[in-house]
């Protein structure tokens, strides 16, 4: 179904675990050339790469803290040096940083949340843009930027997650500008907006709490990372979504219906 992803060069930020890692696995199975990125080198890197490289594609690890603008440029350069160009960028790195209600928010916390969730996607996309444009011109189809939003981008976020929700809403919004001004470059921009997925993101909750929260969703449970991965394949594949751009696909078990 995703035959055109074979050999595609895919950079996925923040992908050593959770939703990002499941996306790395899905693209590897589709035969793509993938860079897994993380702030730190994972302890089990060698074994993880050996496993991922047995799936049918090619996977490398590129270390970079994408909340740092200079590191975003270096990451893109390293990727292009390794694979010769970029066909698909997935801006997945993100997180709460911490939960802080309004009275506790200071400049340092504001910077940390917006750098990780907004600036990272902006800067990696900026540096990747000429390469995505070149790839589209070369193969005569489209390149794809997929950013990871959140249900919090609509709802405003849960307790202490107001800045996080706002940073995701910022992403939902700025994508519209990128569509308006870079479609002529042969690049499509879409967003995957997860609801509540069982990853380290919810490490502050025990299993009973997760089950209780999940039972309130129409689907009755949290999502699993591998249930989000196919949406990335869909938006990356020109054959599947070549005329789709500027959209937000909500993968949330019915938790929120915008
Ligand atoms: P996770 O914490 O399991 O994974 C986050 C990944 O980002 C990790 O691989 C981590 O190494 C990486 N990362 C963190 N800071 C980084 C940095 N500065 N530079 C590079 N990499 C960095 O979380 P997840 O649930 O898999 O989240 C993935 C994306 O999905 C995030 O953007 C998150 O905001 C979004 N999201 C998650 C949920 C959920 O319920 N899990 C809901 C909505 C949106």
| Ligand 1 contact via 88 beta carbon (within 6 Å) | no
Reported as a pLDDT band with limits 50, 70 and 90, residue 1 is confident
Is the pLDDT at 229 greater than 90? The verdict is yes
Q: Catalytic residue at 164?
A: yes
The residue whose two tokens read 């967003």 is 191
Rounded mean pLDDT, 89-100: 98
Closest ligand 1 atom, residue 65 Cα: 19
Q: Determine the Cα angle at 37 with ends 33 and 38, to 5°.
A: 160
Rounded mean pLDDT, 150-175: 98
Is the pLDDT at 67 greater than 90? The verdict is yes
Q: Which of 152, 201, 225, 258 to mutate to test the pocket of ligand 1 (most atoms within 8 A of CB)?
A: 201
Return contacts of 208-216, CB within 8 angstroms, 24+ apart.
none
Rounded mean pLDDT, 78-106: 98
Q: What pLDDT was estimated at residue 35? A: 99
Closest ligand 1 atom, residue 168 Cα: 34
3-state secondary structure of 224: coil
Q: What pLDDT was estimated at residue 29? A: 98
**DSSP label at 63?**
E
Where do the DSSP E strands lie in 45-142?
58-63, 88-91
3-state secondary structure of 16: coil
Spell 65-99 as b/e; 16+ CB within 10 A means b: bbbbbebbbebbebbbeebebbbbbbbbbbbbbee
The architecture in CATH of the region 3-251 reads 3-Layer(aba) Sandwich (3.40)
ipTM of the complex: 0.99
Reported as a pLDDT band with limits 50, 70 and 90, residue 31 is very high
| Ligand 1 contact via 66 beta carbon (within 6 Å) | yes
Query: What residue ranges do the domains of the chain occupy?
Result: 3-251
């Amino acid at each position: 179904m995703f035959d055109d992803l074979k050999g595609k060069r895919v950079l996925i930020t923040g992908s050593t675990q959770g939703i990002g890692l499941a996306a790395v696995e899905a693209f590897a199975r589709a035969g793509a050339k993938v860079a897994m990125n993380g702030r730190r080198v994972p302890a089990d890197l060698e074994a993880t790469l050996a496993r991922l490289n047995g799936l049918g594609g090619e996977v490398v690890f590129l270390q970079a803290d994408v909340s740092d603008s200079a590191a975003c440029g270096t990451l893109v350069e390293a990727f292009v040096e390794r694979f010769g160009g970029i066909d698909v960028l997935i801006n997945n790195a993100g997180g709460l940083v911490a939960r802080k209600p309004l009275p506790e928010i200071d400049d340092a916390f504001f910077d940390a949340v917006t750098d990780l969730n907004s600036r990272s996607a902006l800067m990696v996309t900026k540096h990747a843009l000429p390469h995505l444009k070149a790839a589209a011109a070369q193969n005569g189809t489209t390149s794809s930027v997929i950013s990871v939003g959140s249900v919090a981008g609509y709802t405003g976020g849960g307790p202490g997650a107001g800045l996080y929700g706002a940073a995701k809403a910022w992403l939902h919004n700025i994508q519209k500008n990128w569509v308006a001004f870079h479609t002529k470059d042969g690049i499509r921009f879409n967003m995957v907006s997860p609801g509540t997925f069982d990853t380290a993101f919810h490490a502050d909750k025990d299993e009973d709490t997760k089950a209780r929260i999940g039972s309130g969703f129409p689907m009755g449970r949290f999502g699993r990372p591998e249930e989000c991965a196919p949406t990335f394949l869909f938006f990356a594949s020109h054959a599947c979504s070549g005329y789709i751009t500027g959209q937000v696909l909500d993968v949330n078990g019915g938790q929120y219906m915008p």
